[in-house]
Amino acid sequence: MAAPDSSQDPAIRQAAQLLWKARYVMALTGAGISVESGIPPFRGPGGLWTKYGEPPMNGYQQFLDNPRRAWEERLNPTGPSEILRTTVASANPNPGHHALVAMEERGLLRYLITQNVDNLHRRAGSQNLLEIHGNSTLTRCLQCTSRYALADTPLDVLPPSCPQCHGMLKIDTVAFGEPIPPDVLAQCHQTTERCDCMMVIGTSATVYPAAWFPMQVRDRGGVLIEVNLYESELTPMCTVSLRGKAGDILPLLAQAVADLQSADA
């Protein structure tokens, strides 16, 4: 499938117009944006859960029942967790991540909510970033929610303790069954309430509460622009659905909006 040319593709031009006219643009990203960085998705073709089955929904309870074993398993992962850990460790941001940074730097993209724990948006340079499922390079205190770099966290005693309040540290990634950290969730709601145009990029939109945010935007009269290789749960609700790889489409979309902005300047 040849990548569409921004000036030629009417769908890209329509999406660029919608972004340019919007007052408060946001993006929601999922595993699909990191596939071109070598990290497999979870569902659909090539998905980890498709291949290995969905993980148990009580991951968080398992952590609370035996934090030391959970940490040992985290530090010596097997199966899909090991694939995730090694692919994340060797991954780099791709043109899709960089295009969102360019949109933020041009003042178009206000906030980015990501479901990804791979740290690639941060490494690409995204600033207004909300990591709703946490970040695999960080630890988080379950008592005071302070976060620390995993690389700086002493692991001689497991589970490690919070240097500030001595609470128990967990990897920052949100386990199945774990509540979304309230600080991040509150910011996701606050920013989404202002949003009138949301790009939904590389997500199957099957996991909540993340999948709610685009629906809230749409329900309040806002528009959704989808970028996905295949149809998703959200496709019928989107004003424009761009079919293709995020790393191909997002740079073209960023350029098309930039052209409109400079033509207007």
Give the catalytic positions in this structure: 133
| Nearest C-alpha neighbor of 236 from the set 244, 228, 247 | 228
> Which window, 36-44, 63-71, 83-91, 163-171, contacts ligand APR (CB under 6 A)?
36-44
Least distance to ligand APR from the beta carbon of 235, Å? 9
Question: Which of 245, 252, 256, 257 lies at the binding interface for ligand APR (CB under 6 A)?
Answer: 245
CA triple 76-36-201, angle to 5 deg: 105
Total residues binding ligand APR (CB under 6 A): 24
3-state helix, strand, coil in the chain (%, to 5): 45, 15, 40
Question: Which of 25, 28, 30, 198 lies at the binding interface for ligand APR (CB under 6 A)?
Answer: 30
Question: Which of 12, 18, 42, 97 lies at the binding interface for ligand APR (CB under 6 A)?
Answer: 42
**Burial class of 67 by CB neighbour count within 10 A (0 to 12, 13 to 18, 19+):** middle
Closer to ligand APR by CB, 42 or 71: give it.
42
Residue 238 one-letter amino acid: C
Q: Is 202 in the site for ligand APR (CB under 6 A)?
A: yes
Closer to ligand APR by CB, 97 or 133: give it.
133
The residue at minimum Cβ distance from ligand APR is 32
Q: Is 99 in the site for ligand APR (CB under 6 A)?
A: no
Q: What is the DSSP string of 11-54?
A: HHHHHHHHHHH-SSEEEEE-GGGGGGGT---SSSTT-HHHHH-P
Question: Which of 36, 104, 118, 226 lies at the binding interface for ligand APR (CB under 6 A)?
Answer: 36
Three-state DSSP class for residue 259:
helix
Question: Which of 16, 88, 246, 256 lies at the binding interface for ligand APR (CB under 6 A)?
Answer: 246
Q: Is 71 in the site for ligand APR (CB under 6 A)?
A: no
Residue 112 one-letter amino acid: L
Least distance to ligand APR from the beta carbon of 262, Å? 27
Assess contact for 253 and 243: CB atoms under 8 A: no
Closer to ligand APR by CB, 80 or 167: give it.
80
Q: Is 134 in the site for ligand APR (CB under 6 A)?
A: no
83-108: b (≥16 Cβ within 10 Å) or e: bbeebbeebebbbbbbbbbbbbeeeb
Q: Interface residues with ligand APR (CB under 6 A)?
A: 30-32, 35-36, 41-44, 47, 115, 133, 202-204, 206-207, 227-230, 232, 245-246
